[in-house]
Amino acid sequence: MEIRGGQGNEVAGVHSVDADYFRVFRIPLRSGRGFTDRDRTGAPKVLVLNENAARKLWPGQNPIGQHVLLPVWDTGQQDAKVIGVVGDVRYDGVDQPAQSDVYVSFRQYPESGNIVVRTAGDPLSLAPAIRRAVHALDKDLPVFNVKSMDQQLADATSRARFSAVLLGVFAALALLLAALGIYGVVASSVAARTREIGIRIALGAGSRDVRKLVAGDGLLLCLAGVLLGIPAALAATCVLTSVLYGTRPGQPVTYIVVSVLLMLVAALASHIPARRATKVDPLVALRYE
């Protein structure tokens, strides 16, 4: 719905809410006041803006006390006074940025809606009591689709969570393949350098020296992969930003942690070939072709 005020027009979602709406949902009041029982039919029309709408309609100004032309449903375009500003809410999904929103008093603009109850314990355990309370007011009012906020949040984030799980599985498979690849390359290198390793041992190289030599090859291989993979990871993260909620490209802590993890995997993958290299018999190795 398009509203008019301040610097021009702004498309905003309009929500008819009760006086306790912001307290129940813990939406912070940034300035002004919320609705009270005085904001009813016959009283001057009032509204509450979210921060996004306030910034766009009155950038750098205080919107409290300003007036908005508000075309609410079938009531025509009406003048309403801004009495408060509240925090932004992502009504279009947690993966979407907050849009402009306008809140009007349910007592001034009544419409069909939902009942929200905040409880101290399990909310679903109170569902029968809520149904009885509603039916005591009007036995013909249907009460359906009762959900807890955890269920609502799970439904809203189901796609993002599925994407995260799927990417996590692929990441684990990629890590396993990387470990197997490093193991294979290092083991092949050890087999190809059997004669060299035997000579080193014959000349007095200890087990620790041989392990460092072999494991170092695996770590150098992994380090080269990390240096080549970071630019590709940056490009991939830019794509993931549009798919997963809360991801931002270029987070240095993430790249450091993943790089260290890959180096640890490389060290573990190189451990078995390095251990085998220390058991090479110099006499056998010198005859090895």
Q: Give the residue with greater pLDDT, 192 vs 70.
A: 70
pLDDT > 80? residue 228: yes
Query: Do the Cβ atoms of 100 and 53 come closer than 8 Å?
Result: yes
In the structure encoding, which two tokens stand for residue 236, read together? 């991939």
Mean pLDDT of 10-16: 83
Residue 81: pLDDT band with limits 50, 70, 90: very high
Distance of CA 289 to the CA centre of its chain: 56
Phi–psi pair at 102, nearest 5 degrees: -125, 135
Cβ neighbors of 77 (< 8 A, separation 6 or more) are 69, 70, 71
What is residue 35's predicted lDDT score, i.e. its pLDDT? 93
CB atoms near residue 141 (< 10 Å): 11
CA–CA distance, 231 with 20 (Å, rounded to integer): 50
pLDDT > 90? residue 120: no
- Full-model pTM: 0.60
Cβ neighbors of 249 (< 8 A, separation 6 or more) are 234, 237, 238, 241
Sequence-ordered alpha helix ranges (H) in 157-279: 158-192, 194-202, 207-240, 252-277
Model confidence over 128-150: pLDDT tens digits?
888 888 888 888 888 888 888 88
* Orientation of helix 158-192 relative to helix 194-202, angle to 10°: 60
pLDDT > 60? residue 286: no
Residue 242: pLDDT band with limits 50, 70, 90: low
What is residue 8's predicted lDDT score, i.e. its pLDDT? 67
CB atoms near residue 285 (< 10 Å): 19
What is residue 244's predicted lDDT score, i.e. its pLDDT? 57
> What length does the chain have?
289
